Structure 1
Amino acid sequence: MSQINKLKILNDPIYGFITIPNPLIYDLIQHPYFQRLRRISQMGLSYLVYPGAHHTRFHHALGCMHIMQKAIEVLRFKGVSISPDEENALYIAILLHDIGHGPFSHAMEHSIVENVNHEAISLLFMDKLNADFDGKLSLAIKVFKGDYNRKFMLQLISSQLDMDRMDYLKRDSFYTGVAEGNINSDRLIQMMNVVDDVLVLEEKGIYSIEKFLMARRLMYWQAYLHKTSLVAELILTKVLKRAKELTQKGVVLPCSEPLRFFMKNKIEREDFNDNVLDQFAQLDDFDIVGALKSWQHQDDVILSKLCKMIINRDLLKIKLSSEKFAKEEITKLIEDLIKKGEVSMADASYFIFKGKIKNQAYNKTAEPIHILKKDKSIEDVVEASDQLNLKALSKPVTKYYICFPKHLKEN
């Protein structure tokens, strides 16, 4: 009987060849929970702005594992002791860090499930996989939760300069064509070291870190928080809210069984038993897109209109401002919409709404990016840098938005 070769090599457009380091990692990648990530878009509805942005979370997770391999190689070369078990735990933790993402992730976190973030669901998946794999993920889960005694390992997985950010900036920049997001991850990894159990970057890599932080800021405004992507995601949230409302009133909407399950039930963190997790594991982008295509023909005018907006990319108008929008502006738009006899006062909030977005490229109050200076002292990157821009990057920038149908007059 022939044995499957589990030490595969994959071709990645960003890094070239990626190797799967051992049979356990191969088996995790082959698991249906992980294969689902092939059907979860990395950038949600951003393809409505950047047609190339169709890459998946599967792509991203493998990329993160690849650069984790590079980071471990560099750290060991510099004398940092990392045992084979710790190495494997780092691979597993970074590979599975996004496994809890739902379809069009951020829209899901506010509609299909209630107040449950993807990190919490990732942990539930890891626990379930750990049971399936006879406890072989225990150390990875400890590292992922920050319960392991070697602090730098968590920093490699989740910090302001982790493998996750390094991959998604480079990858998303490539697939969107937003060149400003391209970073030199090889240089950043070569500059890594560990001092007193803390991840540091050598001072000679400071310009690469400045470029990384600037790239992150530009990618947020140009891609992740691009106003068209933002309004599309907000409309999708409204679609799911409306569909859930109708389903719970007894209206039968055509959709897949896993999606129907979440439409019918209010699911919060404490409701996530094995059955709910299995239902969630069957949800992907195709369930949502299939539902949008069906629901655009529904009798419910609100659901139908909202679905057509996304399917045909004929979205609501969105205005951004650094100042809050006056309450009177919203009231006037709602009055105009009601006058046209299109919706009732109760339903106007599906088409006219406001909110805010925030971007902070570097958070000084969180775990800082540590710079190892030539005299062996350690300093926060903002203090070590001669770039005044970095101080500006550590200030949060808030923008306010208002969304409304295009045919209404702007005030």
Structure 2
Amino acid sequence: MKIYDPLYGKFDVENVLGEVIQSPPIQRLKNIHQGGACYLVNPLWDVTRYEHSIGVMLLIRKLGGSIEEQIAGLLHDVSHTAFSHVIDYVLKHEQEDYHESIYEQVIEQSSIPKILEKYGYNYKHLLYEQEWGLLEQPLPLLCADRIDYTLRDLARSEEIKVQRATSFLDSLVVVEGQIAVTSIEQSEWFVQTYYREVIDYFLHPLNIYVNEVMTKVIQRAMEHNILVVDDFLLEDEQVLHMLRSSENKEVLTLLQMIHQEVEENEHKYDLHVAKKIRLIDPLVYHNETLAPVSHLSIKVQSWNEEALIKSEKGTFVKVRTKN
């Protein structure tokens, strides 16, 4: 199977990867948006879990990861619900990990185990992220998941150039099982870029507002038995159709509120949200040694302090009154 990705280029992938990609659970991710409901108000916030999953697989491949780890990368988001992390807010999963709690169940009830068995792979071995050090690492380290969603979201929204992202990707190496960067300058660039993602995008007042409204919409829909938990494994537009077709005035009124204009206003606000804190500190490989870039760059120390303050402070959203 031939694959093209704007960040990583062209690849011929093995048959097992091709069959998993073509399976219904992975194809479903084409219609699950990574940013929750924000694609409804900004056409540049429309990256899908499918694009990201393919990207993670290809980045692991680029870094020399095994076929097994590439499969794990391809599957890592397969249990994401409609509107992604919105369902974490609906179900009050503060660590934004509901999809992880149903991950094994979703795979077991799909065609994926038989596809993997056909090629001699045990799906249970692929389920555990601690086995795959390129795919996932705890913050503040780099991992394929974290790198891909950062670069992909910002390239799509035209906040960074694809060529600049490619230059960073070419500076990555794997040392002692860890993803590291070969220069301080490239590390500094990624730290700045990452905070554009988790501060300027994740905490953008419109992003916060739209996902908060969608959270309330879905909560009300559940209270009125319009939606049940099993519906969360449908696609975004399928769930949206169920909401729009409900004829429930409260749900429909809330849905219309998504399209309000908002601004950040710390002194006069309608909504305040603080999400989980995400700080980054890439390892730099220089002179055959590994060190966090914060040990080598005063700039990164400052940016991390600023990001911590902003994350703890959260976002204060004011809905603009239409004249």
- TM-score w.r.t. the length of structure 1 is 0.66
Does the 8 A contact of 2:31 with 2:48 survive in 1?
A: yes
Shift of 1:285: 0.5
- Corresponding residue of 1:137: 123
Selected match of 2:282 from 369, 373, 377: 369
Q: 2:99 aligns with which of 118, 133, 138?
A: 118
Q: What secondary structure, in the 3-state scheme, does the structure 1 residue paired with 2:291 have? A: strand
- Following superposition, the deviation at residue 246 of structure 1 comes to 2.3
Q: Name the counterpart of 2:148.
A: 167
Deviation of 1:94 (Å): 0.8
Structure with larger Rg: 1
Question: Does 1:294 pair with 2:245?
Answer: yes
> Does structure 1 retain, via aligned residues, the 8 Å contact 2:221–2:251?
yes
Please name the residue that 1:306 is paired with: 254
Which runs of 5 or more structure 1 residues have no equivalent in the other structure?
Answer: 1-7, 73-81, 248-252, 254-259, 263-275, 331-351, 363-367
Residues 192 and 16 (structure 1), Cα distance of their counterparts in 2 relative to 1, 3 Å cut: closer
Contact 1:360/1:393 (CA < 8 Å) preserved in 2?
A: no
**Alpha-carbon distance in structure 2 between the residues aligned to 1:10 and 1:290:** 32
Q: Which residue of the partner structure matches residue 177 of structure 1?
A: 158
Rounded to whole Å, the distance in 2 between the matches of 1:43 and 1:33 is 19
Once residues 305 and 108 of structure 1 are traced to their aligned partners in structure 2, the CA distance between those partners, rounded to angstroms, is: 20
Structure 2 equivalent of residue 333 of structure 1 = none
Q: Does 1:285 align with 2:229?
A: no
Per-residue CA distance 1:52-85 (angstroms, 9 max, x = gap): 332311111111111211100xxxxxxxxx7xxx
Among 228, 249, 253, which residue is 1:261 paired with?
A: 228
Correspondent of 2:192 among 214, 219, 223: 214
Match of 2:88 among 109, 122, 128: 109
CA–CA distance in 2 between the matches of 1:234 and 1:44?
A: 10
Shift, 1:360, TM fit: 3.6
2:172 and 2:318 mapped to 1: Cα distance? 48
What are structure 2's unaligned runs of at least 5 residues? none
Q: How far apart, CA to CA, are the structure 2 residues paired with 1:218 and 1:402?
A: 18
- Tell me the TM-score normalized by structure 2: 0.82
Map of 1:355 onto structure 2 = 273
Q: Contact 2:171 / 2:186 at 8 angstroms: preserved in 1?
A: no
Q: Does 1:94 align with 2:61?
A: no
2:63 paired with 1:62: no
CA distance in 1, matches of 2:38, 2:32: 13
TM-align CA RMSD: 3.1
- Say yes or no: does 1:71 pair with 2:50: no
Deviation at 1:235, TM superposition (A): 0.3
**Cα offset for 1:392?**
2.3
Superposed counterparts of 1:219-230, under 5 Å: 219-230=197-208
Question: What is the CA-CA distance between 1:109 and the residue it aligns to?
Answer: 1.4
Distance in 2 of aligned mates of 1:17 and 1:353 = 44
User: 1 or 2 for the larger relative contact order (CA 8 Å, sep ≥6)?
Assistant: 2
> Residue 170 and residue 406 in structure 1: after superposition, are their counterparts in 2 closer, same or farther (change >3 A)?
closer
Q: C-alpha separation between the residues in 2 aligned to 1:131 and 1:309?
A: 42
Residue 355 of structure 1: CA displacement? 3.3
